[in-house]
Amino acid sequence: MIETIGILGGGQLGRMLTLEAKRMGYRVVTLEPFPNSPTGQIADEQIVAAYDDPRAIGELGARSDVTTYEFENIPLDSVLLLEREGRLVRPDAAALRITQDRVLEKTFVRECGIGTAPFAPVADARELDVVIGELGFPAVMKTARGGYDGKGQWVVRDAHAAHAALAEARGAQLIFERFVPFDLEVSIICARGADGTSIAFPASENQHDHGVLATSIVPARISPEIAARVRAAAETIGERLGIVGAYCVEFFVAGDEVLVNEIAPRVHNSGHYSLDATQISQYEAHVRAICDLPLVEPYLFSPAVMINILGDGTGDELDGIVELLSDPDAKLHLYGKAHAALRRKMGHVTILGKTVAAALAKAERARAVLSWKARPSALAR
């Protein structure tokens, strides 16, 4: 029987996962290098250690009945270590290995018969010249591993810029992708049980700013036919990866083409809306999947728009909360982070509406009333 869930990572995804797990009666232990992390503030215990500290990883495994992770850039070796010690890790190391490397990931998606942007791996200047000749511009160069929120990416329009990006990457393995002139981006959260049961949340339409998710609109404004293809592709991917847990697949929609951009073997920013707009959240779905509880098909109470609250570097105190919460359709989520650095994810707001258009209009107002200011104590200093 599963009583304690271990979470590698201490960010906001782990925090919301923990809140749902605690509601359902589980104990939670998190491992994260920074004390008092967003997850650690809610969890029963936080092990303060590096993600590659074998003793601490062993400790996490020993204290947990099942271990999971809230972001995919943890060392694969740590998950392999847990598995070698006979610990249950969900999703497992095989799924993590593929999804934490953009080259393996896109190769795998192609092998599933699903489209991606044309891509090629690039390790050095000679390879880069060959790839430029084959794929052309504009393109996006990304580090194969370790990137998130648009970090480790360069949009390049000519060979000069591509070589500059290569130099900036300092020897990291890269992927070179054709830039996709998409109509819109969508993502879908699915969850899969150990028995192969699969459920899917309504697809969300995502708008990014500087590579960071800014807005998610649910349901995505796509035809039922495109929505069905998105779901089918995501379910094929989950099945072929053997994922147990919640996962997210991001897509570019260009005309009637649907291309996979990336897979996250975990709960995802674009699924936050499910805490407020569906009868079961992505976090509960993940808990159910990894704890062998029944997975049920989510249904939407109403259209919803989620906006991320990002730091802008001007101050750490959020202003406008009173005005925001005067709206009966606004749900505020804050992550307990002390410093609102530029583009750091500090919280989000979900706005419910009778229609997507109504929720979007309110979401724009919500974005406008929120701002950052210096804390009074900081001003006095």
Ligand X SMILES: Nc1ncnc2c1ncn2[C@@H]1O[C@H](COP(=O)(O)OP(=O)(O)O)[C@@H](O)[C@H]1O
Q: CB–CB of 61/54 below 8 Å?
A: no
Q: Does 336 bind ligand X (CB under 6 A)?
A: no
Q: How far is the CB of 355 from ligand X (least distance, A)?
A: 25
Q: Enumerate residues 6+ apart whose C-beta is below 8 A from 322.
A: none
Q: Of Mg ion, ligand X, none, which one sits near residue 45, judging by CB under 5 to 8 A according to partner kind?
A: none
Indicate whether 147 belongs to the interface with ligand X (CB under 6 A). yes
Query: Does residue number 105 form part of the binding site for ligand X (CB under 6 A)?
Result: no
Q: Are 257 and 3 in contact (CB under 8 A)?
A: no
Q: Minimum CB separation from ligand X for residue 171, in Å?
A: 20
Using CB distances below 5 to 8 A depending on partner kind, what does residue 137 bind out of Mg ion, ligand X, none?
Answer: none
Taking CB under 6 A as the criterion, which residues in 4-63 touch ligand X? none
Q: Which does 315 bind (CB under 5 to 8 A by kind): Mg ion, ligand X, none?
A: none
- Examine residue 262 and tell whether it contacts ligand X (CB under 6 A): yes
Interacting residue ranges for Mg ion, rule: CB under 5 A: 262
User: Does residue 180 belong to the site contacting ligand X (CB under 6 A)?
Assistant: yes
Contact 5, 21 (CB under 8 A): yes
Q: Return the number of the residue (174 or 295) whose C-beta is nearest ligand X.
A: 174
Tell me how far, at minimum, the Cβ of 148 lies from Mg ion, in Å.
Answer: 7
Q: How far is the CB of 272 from Mg ion (least distance, A)?
A: 14
Piece in contact with ligand X (CB under 6 A), picked from 71-79, 179-187, 287-295, 302-310 = 179-187
Tell me the closest approach of the beta carbon of residue 214 to ligand X, in angstroms: 10
Asked if 250 interacts with ligand X (CB under 6 A), we say: yes
Residue nearer to ligand X on the CB measure, 92 or 262 = 262
> Is there binding between residue 117 and ligand X (CB under 6 A)?
yes
282 binds ligand X (CB under 6 A): no
Residue 329's binding partner among ligand X, Mg ion, none (Cβ under 5 to 8 angstroms by kind) is none
Residue type, 318: L
Of 20 and 262, which CB lies nearer to ligand X in the complex structure? 262
Cα–Cα distance between 239 and 259 in angstroms, integer?
18
Q: Based on the number of CB atoms within 10 Å of its own CB, is 148 exposed (0-12), middle (13-18) or buried (19 or more)? A: middle
With contacts defined by CB under 6 A, name the span among 34-42, 178-186, 311-319, 371-379 that binds ligand X: 178-186
Stretch of 71-79, 175-183, 281-289, 335-343 contacting ligand X, by CB under 6 A: 175-183
Applying the rule CB under 6 A, the residues between 211 and 240 that interact with ligand X are: 211
Member of 72, 185, 205, 329 binding ligand X (CB under 6 A): 185
- The yes or no reply on residue 137 touching ligand X (CB under 6 A) is no
For ligand X, which is the closer residue by CB, 166 or 180? 180
Contact segment (CB under 6 A) with ligand X among 176-184, 309-317, 331-339, 369-377 equals: 176-184
Nearer CB in complex with ligand X: 208/354: 208
Q: Which does 149 bind (CB under 5 to 8 A by kind): Mg ion, ligand X, none?
A: ligand X
Three-state SS sequence of the chain: CCCEEEEECCCHHHHHHHHHHHHCCCEEEEECCCCCCCCCCCCCEEECCCCCCHHHHHHHHHHCCEEEECCCCCCHHHHHHHHHCCCCECCCHHHHHHHCCHHHHHHHHHHCCCCECCEEEECCHHHHHHHHHHHCCCEEEEECCCCCCCCCEEEECCHHHHHHHHHHCCCCCEEEEECCCCCEEEEEEEEECCCCCEEECCCEEEEEECCEEEEEEECCCCCHHHHHHHHHHHHHHHHHHCCCEEEEEEEEEECCEEEEEEEECCCCHHHCCHHHHECCCHHHHHHHHHCCCCCCCCCECCCEEEEEEECCCCCCEEECHHHHCCCCCEEEEECCCCCCCCCCEEEEEEEECCCHHHHHHHHHHHHHHCEEECCHHHHHC
> What gap in Å lies between CA 267 and CA 5, rounded to an integer?
15
Provide the binding-site residues for ligand X, judged by CB under 6 A. Answer: 117, 140, 147-150, 177, 179-180, 185, 208, 211, 250, 261-262
